[in-house]
A and B are shown apart, each in its own frame.
Chain A
Amino acid sequence: MRRRVCIVGVGMTPLKALSPEVSYKEMMFEVANKAYNDCGINPRKDVDTFICCSEDYIEGTSIFDEYVPDQLGGALKQVHTIPSDGLFGVCAGILQILTGEFKIAVIEAHAKSSNILTPDGVHMCALDPIYIRPLNVNPIFIAGLEYNSFLYNHLFTKEDCAEVVVKNKKNALKNPYACYGANLTIEDVLNSFPISYPLNELEISSYADGACVVVLASEEVAKDLKKKPIYIDGFSFIQGSPNLEVRSWDFPRATEEAGKRAYEMAGINNPNREIDFCEIDDTYSYKELQHAIALNLNETIINPSGGSLGMGYIYEGTGLMRLIMAVLQLRGEAGSFQVRINNDLPRKAVVQSWRGIPTENSCVLVLSRE
C-alpha cells in the first residue's frame, strides 16, 4: 500500500475585509501558534521543513522568501517559498515527507489583500507583456471569456451560476471564519453591476485578509500527536497552458486531469457516490459548476463553508482555507456549519484549488478520516 501523509494541525484567522491591527508577520505568528497548539508540537524542535506560498507582486516585496521564517519558528531552518496557491505547497510538503527525510512539514499562506491598492494593476502584470498587455483591457475579461464559453457550450444558464452565489453566501452566514455571508436572491445577483460580460459583480469573490497554516506529518509520527490525523489519500497538481489563444475555455481541463490522478491514487471510482462533500474553487460563480463537473462531484455537498464567494478571496491562502474547512468537517469541529451524512460525520472529502486568472492550473486532494 502507498504510504500516506496526514494533516495533523490546522490554524486560520477569521477572514476580514481590513486588518490594520496586525501586520502580515503578526497574522502568520498567530495562526502558526494555533496550528502548532492544534497538534501539540514545538516548531523549534519538531518541524523539519517549512513551505510558504506567496507571490512577490501580491506581497509588494520582492524576494519575499527572506521575510517568512521568523514568525513561523523557522529561523535558521529549512524554509522555502512557492509562488502558487497554498495547496501546491501542501503537495510539495507531501513529496518532501514521502522522501523519508522529513517527518513534519509546515505549510503557510496568507493575504493582506487590503494592502494592495491596485489589484487590477497587479493582475495586469500576470498577462503576457508583448501581445496581451498592450491591448490594455482589465484582466477580469479572462473570466468573462471563460464564463461565456461555458454558457455557450454547456447546458447551464446564468441563473444556475447565480444560484451558486446565493448558496455559498448563505452557507457563509453559518461560518465564523467567513466575512461575506449574505441572504441574496438570484435576481440580486443577476441585477448586480456588469463587470465583464457575462460576469456580474456579485459573481466575483471579494478580497479578504487572512492567514492559514497546515501541519503535515508522516503516518508514523501522526499517530502520536494530539488529534486523530486526517489522511491524504490522493493528490495531484497540474499546470495548464499559459496561452490564452489555445485554452479549452469552456472546461477546466487541468482540474479534470488533477482529479483523475488524485482519484486513481486514492482508489476512488465513483466520486459522486464515494465523496461526502467537497471544498472546491468558486473564485467566480461559474467556476464552482465547472470544477464540480470536472471532478464528478456535482451530486455531492459543495462548499459547505461558503467558499470564496461567501468567505472571501485570500489569494495564495485560498487553497489552504478550503483544506482547513474540509479538515474541520472531517474532524467534526465545524460547529455551526458541520455537515452530517445520515447523522454521522463525513468520511471522505475532496479539496480543489485554482490560482485564478490568468492561470489554467489546478490542485486536488482526496482526504479521509480513516
Chain B
Amino acid sequence: MKNFFATPLRDEDFKKKNFCYETWIGNCFYAWDCGKAIGRYLEGLKEGKILGVKCPKCERIMVPPRIFCEWCFVLVEDFVELKDTGKINTFSISYISWDMKRLEKPQIPAVIEIDGASPGYGILHLISEVDPKDVKVGMRVKAVWKEEKEREGKITDIKYFRPY
C-alpha cells in the first residue's frame, strides 16, 4: 500500500459526502401481459387448480403451461389439470432476505415436480411447516392454498408446499 497513491474511502466519507458522487432512483415501472398459457395457469390457481399442457407430438406434460413445446417446436393447446402434490427435485435454504437482511426463520425455495406432469417438470415455490434440517430431495409435498376468497390469480395463491 505504501506506493499506492490514492485516498482510502470509508463508510462515513460516503455518508458525509466528503467527495463528489451522484445517485439516481429510476422511475421504471412495468406490467406484463400473461397471454394465453400463463393467463390460463393463473386463472387455474385462482380456482385452486394447477394446470399443465400436453405436447401433441412428444406427449410430455409441461408445467407451468406454454403454447409451444421447446423441443418439438409445435403449437401446444391441450390443457390438463394436475394434482397439487409432488416431490422436491431440489431445494435450498436461504438465510438472507431479498434485500440482504439476515433471516431468523430461513426461506426454503424448491423445485417441486408436480404429480401428473412429466418427470423433471415442476414449479418453483416455497416449502414450509417443516424444520429446515428435515427437508430432503424426493420429499413428498402438498400445496397449501389461500382461502378461496383471498385468491387473485397469482402464484402466491399457493402459500407454500408442506410435507404430507
Are A and B subunits of one complex? yes
Residues of A within 8 A of B (CB): 19-27, 29, 33, 42-44, 57, 60, 69-71, 73, 75, 112, 114-118, 120-122, 124-125, 129-130, 133-134
Most buried by A among B37, B67, B68: B68
A21 and B36 within 8 A (CB): yes
Whether B164 sits at the interface, judged by CB under 8 Å, is no
Query: Which residue of chain A lies nearest to B34 when distances are taken between CB atoms in the complex?
Result: A23
Query: Which residue of chain A lies nearest to B35 when distances are taken between CB atoms in the complex?
Result: A23
Question: CB within 8 Å of A: which of B110-150?
Answer: none
Shortest CB–CB separation between residue A134 and chain B, in angstroms? 7
Cα distance A124–B26 in the bound complex, in angstroms: 8
Cα distance A134–B21 in the bound complex, in angstroms: 12
B22 and A134 within 8 A (CB): yes
Question: CB within 8 Å of A: which of B61-114?
Answer: 66-68, 70-73, 75
Cα distance A75–B62 in the bound complex, in angstroms: 15
Cα distance A70–B62 in the bound complex, in angstroms: 13
Residues of B within 8 A of A (CB): 22, 24, 26-39, 66-68, 70-73, 75
B28 and A60 within 8 A (CB): yes
- 22 A-B interface contacts by CB (under 8 A): A22-B33, A23-B32, A23-B33, A23-B38, A23-B39, A25-B66, A26-B35, A26-B36, A26-B67, A33-B75, A60-B28, A70-B68, A70-B70, A71-B70, A73-B70, A75-B70, A75-B71, A115-B32, A115-B33, A118-B29, A122-B28, A124-B26
Shortest CB–CB separation between residue A266 and chain B, in angstroms? 35
Shortest CB–CB separation between residue B79 and chain A, in angstroms? 15
A22 and B28 within 8 A (CB): no
Cα distance A21–B22 in the bound complex, in angstroms: 42
Q: Taking A26-B67, A130-B22 as contacts, is the C-beta distance between A117 and B31 under 8 angstroms?
A: yes
A71 and B32 within 8 A (CB): no
Partner pick for A43 among B24, B36, B38, B73, CB 8 A cutoff: B73
B22 and A22 within 8 A (CB): no
Shortest CB–CB separation between residue B102 and chain A, in angstroms? 25
Task: Chain A residues near B22: list those with CB within 8 A.
Answer: 129-130, 133-134
Shortest CB–CB separation between residue A19 and chain B, in angstroms? 6
Task: Chain B residues near A112: list those with CB within 8 A.
Answer: 32-33
A71 and B68 within 8 A (CB): yes
Query: Which residue of chain B lies nearest to A32 when distances are taken between CB atoms in the complex?
Result: B73
Cα distance A121–B25 in the bound complex, in angstroms: 10
Cα distance A25–B75 in the bound complex, in angstroms: 13
B33 and A121 within 8 A (CB): no
Task: Chain A residues near B28: list those with CB within 8 A.
Answer: 57, 60, 118, 121-122, 125
A124 and B68 within 8 A (CB): no
Partner pick for A117 among B24, B26, B30, B37, CB 8 A cutoff: B30
Query: Which residue of chain A lies nearest to B22 when distances are taken between CB atoms in the complex?
Result: A130
B24 and A129 within 8 A (CB): yes
Query: Which residue of chain B lies nearest to A115 when distances are taken between CB atoms in the complex?
Result: B31
Most buried by B among A23, A70, A122, A133: A23
* Nearest 5 CB-CB pairings of A with B: A23-B35, A121-B27, A60-B30, A70-B70, A117-B29
